[in-house]
Structure 1
Amino acid sequence: MQSVGQRCDPAPSRWAYRLQRLLLTPLFRFALRVVVPFLLVAGLTLLWFSDQDRRDQLAMAYNDLRTEIATRPEFMVNAMAIDGASKGIAEDIREIMPIDFPTSSFDLELGEIQERVSELPAVAKASVRVRPGGILQVAVVERDPVILWRTYDGLALVDREGYVTGPARARTLHPDLPLMAGEGADRQVAEAVQLYAAAGPLAARVRGLVRVGERRWDVVLDRGQRILLPEIGAVQALERVIALSEAQDLLERNLLVVDMRLAARPTIRLAEAAVEEWWRISQLSFGKSNND
């Protein structure tokens, strides 16, 4: 029993003092309140997942929950609507997307569907979304063909950027579209359109444009006439021929070719009958001169 006159030492023990100092350290308090509980929970979780049966049960429960949510009526897609596409393009879109309706919107990869639709040659832009009411809406902006391109495989429709939008079954089905031919013509559609615009006064006689050597154009007219244009300045060269024809009826004469490939020295090639007539007139003139 402690005597009355003996005093208790108020100082803490050495271990109590060290513990108090540690509790005052921010890093130790963070580890005690965050790191240790996290490690404890992580260890218990790993221990629980170490059992294969438990993992299978959890995966099965997740799949059941996902299926239950995905098959709810508000998440089901029952039909597809295609806006902005012609009948043929709409059929192509349905062909590349064989989706069995009804299906869950969770099973639709909208980004992949949009990419596949955009890859169609006749489609310039496409957007895909699920519309309220369970409708998969595909909005399409078609390419607008501006010219016909005659190839070895037949006629093709080409837009202003040179994309082949599809085949043309017959020339008579597209009477308002101009015609071009030749390898590489699809890469110079913009210039071909400019040439047709410049050939306005000859529009009734122009039968088409031919790309020669993937370098330049020939303008094909009726009566077997051709205008050979240079690689550079083709539109200006055609305008010179038209101006000359309007002033001197050049293209109304019996000639086959107007060669503008050399801007400083344009030449013409006469038809065979015109050459024979020229020789006949020359002979007559030469004979008359000798008589004189």
Structure 2
Amino acid sequence: MQGLNPFHRGQGPGGRPAPVRPAPARPAPVAPRTPRKDPAPSRLAYRLNRMMLRPLVRRLVHVGLPAFLAALVAGIWLSDDTRRANLTGGIDAIVDRIQHRDEFMVRMMTIEGASPAVDKGLRAMLPVDLPASSFDIDLEKLRERVLKLDAVEAVDLRIKPGGVLSAVVTERVPALLWRHARGIELLDKTGHRVASVTGREVRGDLPIVAGEGADRAAAEALALIDAAGPILPRLRGLERMGERRWDVVLDRGQRIKLPEDKALQALERAIALDRALHMLDRDLSVVDLRQEARPVVRLGLEAQNAIRRARGQPELGADGLPLPPDAAAGATAGKAAKTARKSG
């Protein structure tokens, strides 16, 4: 085997030395690698992550849980009576100091457009004595109380700069006197009560209506009074009959019965008849216009007795019954003397 190795050829005293092979270096020690973390989450983390994807759970964690903790802490702190009383007293003191600052104080009240009686009543309705804080005066409730006064139609309440409570009052204007079983009252044009009076002479310039339900038909009554211009000097008032229709009451005991419907047109026809025929100048006690197609008139007592005397019948008394012959003769003589005095 030496013959095949060229490095051993000629080795000897005069041969070429064999090459020296370097010893292989030892590999440097390698640090142990840390195991890589598994990117897949655990089951618990996966489930928690999935739960947090729900909007309800997120709101519960981000809002509900902090709110519950805050409420729990506040409840525990407020469970002590002393701390709760101190907190309430401190808040009340702060609010009271703010509400009673000078810029919030009302020191005077001005009232415009009110009569002395309404002025006095309005000032008495103030819930507090002036000066007072504007926070203690509820303008809406005060307005409701003022509107309950019969004489007040509208009121404007304002707190002006400088601590002035201003009230601008619009009073109802009386348009009618209403006589009923309970007395006499003033009504405005809508039939709303304004005030009570002791007698008609208190407001003799106003027309008078009578009967139950007349206040609810005040607008119709005013229209009838306006239409009764030619007979207005003889008008004594209107009377509501059965809460359905009107009777026009004139002097000399005359009465015009108007229908339930179209009363204004019926009154205008009666005035037209009076202008043409002087109907109301005659001795008539009632003009009944309740039936449009057939007006009816009722003669007065003197006219009836004149007709009965012409027929030879006994005269009628004020009660509508025939008079005895001696009483009828005395009544005839009295009438004749009265007629003679008038002619003389």
Judge conservation of contact 2:125–2:142 (CA < 8 Å) in 1: no
Q: Give the drift of 1:24.
A: 10
Structure 2 match to 1:78: 107
Superposed CA deviations along residues 13-41 of structure 1, whole A, max 9, x for unmatched, are 85699289739945566555444433332
Structure 2 match to 1:135: 164
In structure 2, relative to structure 1, the CA distance for the partners of 1:213 and 1:29 (3 Å cut) is: closer
Q: Give the drift of 1:80.
A: 1.9
SS of alignment partner, residue 239 of structure 2 = strand
2 CA distance for matches of 1:29 and 1:4?
48
| Deviation larger for 197-206 or 99-108 | 99-108
2 CA distance for matches of 1:115 and 1:186?
23
How large is the Cα RMSD of the aligned pairs?
2.6
1 CA distance for matches of 2:210 and 2:51?
88
| Matching residue's letter, 1:54 | R
In structure 2, relative to structure 1, the CA distance for the partners of 1:101 and 1:234 (3 Å cut) is: same
| Matching residue's letter, 1:276 | N
| Matching residue's letter, 2:78 | F
Structure 1 match to 2:235: 206
Structure 1 match to 2:33: 7
Judge conservation of contact 2:127–2:137 (CA < 8 Å) in 1: no
Q: Give the drift of 1:244.
A: 0.6
Structure 1 match to 2:153: 124
2 CA distance for matches of 1:212 and 1:204?
23
| Matching residue's letter, 1:247 | A
Superposed, which structure 2 residues align to 1:157-196 within 5 Å?
Answer: 157-196=186-225
The partner residue of 1:18 within 27, 30, 45 is 45
SS of alignment partner, residue 211 of structure 1 = strand
In the alignment, structure 1 segments of 5+ residues that lack a partner are 284-292
Superposed CA deviations along residues 22-69 of structure 1, whole A, max 9, x for unmatched, are 399455665554444333322211111111111000000011111111
2 CA distance for matches of 1:178 and 1:19?
94
Q: Give the drift of 1:124.
A: 2.0
| Matching residue's letter, 1:78 | R
| Matching residue's letter, 1:205 | R
| 1:251 and 2:275 correspond | no
Superposed CA deviations along residues 81-118 of structure 1, whole A, max 9, x for unmatched, are 22232222222222333531111111122221111111
Judge conservation of contact 2:114–2:171 (CA < 8 Å) in 1: yes
Bigger Cα Rg = 2
Q: Give the drift of 1:264.
A: 2.3
2 CA distance for matches of 1:204 and 1:61?
75
| Deviation larger for 57-66 or 15-24 | 15-24
Judge conservation of contact 2:212–2:242 (CA < 8 Å) in 1: yes
The partner residue of 2:122 within 80, 93, 96 is 93
1 CA distance for matches of 2:124 and 2:182?
23
Q: Give the drift of 1:182.
A: 0.8
Structure 2 match to 1:287: none
2 CA distance for matches of 1:153 and 1:91?
26
In structure 2, relative to structure 1, the CA distance for the partners of 1:272 and 1:7 (3 Å cut) is: same
Q: Give the drift of 1:76.
A: 1.0
Q: Give the drift of 1:236.
A: 1.4
The TM-score, its normalising length taken from structure 2, stands at: 0.74
Structure 1 match to 2:318: none
Q: Give the drift of 1:227.
A: 0.9
Structure 1 match to 2:332: none
In structure 2, relative to structure 1, the CA distance for the partners of 1:63 and 1:281 (3 Å cut) is: same
In structure 2, relative to structure 1, the CA distance for the partners of 1:239 and 1:22 (3 Å cut) is: same
| 1:54 and 2:83 correspond | yes
In structure 2, relative to structure 1, the CA distance for the partners of 1:48 and 1:92 (3 Å cut) is: same
Judge conservation of contact 1:23–1:29 (CA < 8 Å) in 2: no
| Matching residue's letter, 2:33 | R
| 1:108 and 2:120 correspond | no
SS of alignment partner, residue 47 of structure 1 = helix
Judge conservation of contact 2:247–2:256 (CA < 8 Å) in 1: yes
Structure 2 match to 1:278: 307
* Identical pairs, percent: 43
Superposed, which structure 2 residues align to 1:198-237 within 5 Å?
Answer: 198-237=227-266
Structure 2 match to 1:268: 297
More strand as a share of residues = 1
2 CA distance for matches of 1:141 and 1:126?
6
* Number of equivalent positions: 281
| Matching residue's letter, 2:165 | L
SS of alignment partner, residue 233 of structure 2 = coil
| Deviation larger for 253-262 or 9-18 | 9-18
1 CA distance for matches of 2:303 and 2:60?
106
